[in-house]
Amino acid sequence: MKISVIMSVYNGEKYLNECLRSILNQSYSNFELLIVNDCSTDKTEEIIYKFIPKDTRIKYFKNHENKGLTKNLNKMISLSSGEVIARMDADDIACKDRFLNQIHVFEQNKDVDVVFTNACIINDKSNHVCDAWRPNNSDEMIKLMPYFNYIIHPSTMIKKETIYNVGLYDENYITGQDHELWLRIIRNKGRFYYLNKNLLYYRINPNSVRSNLGENYNYKLSKVCIANGNKNEAIKYLGKLNLKEKIDVLIRCLFPFWMYRKIIYGKDVFKFIK
């Protein structure tokens, strides 16, 4: 099976070298890498140009105006030639056998639509924060999906046919486009497979699109720890938080994270992220 790896980059110079190396050095080699440079103002393009002569699998596209992640993902899917689509972000690192493991699942399970993996969560300095926690099986995660997205987007591999069957990513969403897509695939009776291996180093980047501007980075890390069942790790950040942040972290520690989301957001999670 041929994989089309899709990656949108905006000012990704800090981590892009390591990210690209991790993709191009995969043990499974039957893939193409589609990169959209979304009007970066740093050395993103310079870094990409260093890799292009060395590997013909790279297909590079440059926007002349900022389009945003969702539109770029749909653009790359439309230009892809693979049977499956693999997501990757420019600040993450793929483990060497990630693609091999995921393709093996597809080959052994013809009815699977989406394969996603576990991950090691790292900070802006590439230090370990915590391991991602997930329920024991895919069915439990699907049941809780309306309240919490357990699927790490850049860990996913999706059949291209499945994406087209449900209508691609919804371009009305600036963030949360992956969560919304999963819910449509679920409604369409798609099958998800959870590969319980850490096959991605998933970075909590203070400069990512999903980050709240001005938010205390240590507060963000503490919330990430709680969301992944590492409350003891979250408590370690309390000394670096203000009073309001401390209270919020302690309240979050009292409930399972999906329940906290349900209490705060109710049934319509997406009205808060759209």
Domains contained in the chain, CATH given: 3-209 (3.90.550.10), 212-274 (no CATH)
Task: Read off φ and ψ for residue 146, nearest 5 degrees.
Answer: -60, -25
**Rounded CA separation 88/8 (Å):** 8
Query: Which pLDDT score, from 0 to 100, does residue 66 have?
Result: 96
Strand stretches in 132-235, DSSP E: 157-159, 192-203
**Rounded CA separation 81/50 (Å):** 24
Nearest Cα neighbor of 249 from 206, 273, 229, 219 is: 219
Tens of pLDDT, residue by residue over 228-250, are 878 888 888 888 898 988 888 88
**Rounded CA separation 60/224 (Å):** 33
Q: Is the pLDDT of residue 271 over 60?
A: no
| Cβ atoms 113, 192 nearer than 8 A | yes
Q: Which residues are CB-contacts of 212 (< 8 A; sequence separation ≥ 6)?
A: 220
For residue 51, which amino acid is it? Answer: F
**Rounded CA separation 67/103 (Å):** 30
Q: Tokens standing for 27?
A: 């043990």
Tens of pLDDT, residue by residue over 40-69, are 999 999 999 999 999 999 999 999 999 999
Q: Tokens standing for 142?
A: 């699907």
Q: Is the pLDDT of residue 263 over 80?
A: no
**Rounded CA separation 89/203 (Å):** 9
Q: Tokens standing for 85?
A: 């689509």
Task: Read off φ and ψ for residue 123, nearest 5 degrees.
Answer: -100, -170
Tens of pLDDT, residue by residue over 204-218, are 988 765 555 567 898
Residue 33 CB burial class (10 angstroms; 0-12, 13-18, ≥19)? buried
**Rounded CA separation 200/213 (Å):** 26
Q: How confident is the model at residue 262 (pLDDT cuts 50, 70, 90)?
A: low
**Least confident stretch, 103-107, 171-175, 210-214:** 210-214
Answer yes or no: pTM beyond 0.95: no
Q: Locate tokens 């699109």: which residue?
A: 209
**Rounded CA separation 151/87 (Å):** 12
